[in-house]
Amino acid sequence: MPKEIPGIHHVTAIAGEPQQNIEFYADFLGLRLVKLTVNYDDPETYHLYYGDEDGHPGTILTFFPWPGAPGGRKGAGQVTTTSFSIPRDSVRYWVERLGKHEVAFTGPVDRFDEQLISFSDPDGLNLELVAHAGEIRRGWGRGSVPREHAIRGFFGVTLSEEGYEKTSSLLTETMGFKLTKQEGNRFRYAARSGGPGATVDLLCQPDARPGVVSVGTVHHVAWRTPDDGQQKMWREELVEAGLNVTPVIDRKYFHSIYFREPGGVLFEIATDPPGFAIDERKEELGTRLMLPPQFESFREHLVQVLPRVKLPKMA
């Protein structure tokens, strides 16, 4: 079977205060907190996962909150905008909601075949709501936003790059994306399967300063792969293409490999299985601190050092 990347698996960014992050993404944007855990590489830091009801790949935005850390700098070699998908008829609802919650925004404006609204989260992370026809995913119905207007998952990501040729070759010649549209310095690529969550915009910005990862910036973007076998094949092919790829790392809810694309953005390829229901019942996702076995014996210590947070309510 030929291997394929069906689109985005997740996006991981750095936040400031975890409580503020939960209130923005769950209480305001209406995403489900699907997992409350710790950063496996730094367990005194939370790892917050938001998504749809099940935390399907393509809907998962995750954060490492670094309270008190300085703000990062968005720039070249980073994902500089993360775009969510909303139904075509939900633009008015979201314009009103943003206004009511006093979130500064621009738009709606047209771009290619979509309408989009741009704004930032409280830490300065750039977000878009992209309204378009052809969204078939279901929104979560028990969050703070009615199901009909709920965010359906990712529309895509925008990479800012000093140049675009090498990144473009990696996307099209190795990773199976196609160049579908271009306007000015924006090059749009789509995973072969197409559809929402499969879009990458590459912004060619030769004068942009390199980005600095800290609060308010994206740490990495992960692409989907259906299973461990295909991930192994990806690893071999990427190594052959001259990239430095990590070994497979067990992230409990998925298995991951990481590498830096030629423009400097950290890419990950993550498996769809096993998913977030591996250690919690679906109804209870995100309702308590989940730890992998290696940290379970430090639970008491971790609960003491992690900032206390109030979890979102479900309808």
Chain residues binding Zn ion by CB under 5 A are 12, 222, 268
Give whichever of 123 and 268 is closer to Zn ion, judged by the CB atom. Answer: 268
From the CB of 314, what's the least distance to Zn ion, in Å? 25
From the CB of 6, what's the least distance to Zn ion, in Å? 16
Return the residue matching tokens 């979130």.
103
Strand partners, 191: 177
Give whichever of 161 and 268 is closer to Zn ion, judged by the CB atom. Answer: 268
CA 300 to chain centre: 30
Give whichever of 177 and 223 is closer to Zn ion, judged by the CB atom. Answer: 223
Give whichever of 204 and 222 is closer to Zn ion, judged by the CB atom. Answer: 222
From the CB of 182, what's the least distance to Zn ion, in Å? 29
What residue spans of the chain are helical by DSSP H? 18-22, 91-100, 165-169, 228-240, 293-296, 299-305
What is the distance between the alpha carbons of residues 98 and 135, in angstroms, rounded to a whole number? Answer: 22
Give whichever of 121 and 268 is closer to Zn ion, judged by the CB atom. Answer: 268
From the CB of 236, what's the least distance to Zn ion, in Å? 21
From the CB of 222, what's the least distance to Zn ion, in Å? 4
Q: Are 12 and 265 in contact (CB under 8 A)?
A: no
Q: What is the DSSP string of 11-80?
A: EEEEES-HHHHHIIIIIIT--EEEEEEEETTEEEEEEEEEESSS--TTSEEEEEE-TTPPB-B--BTEEE
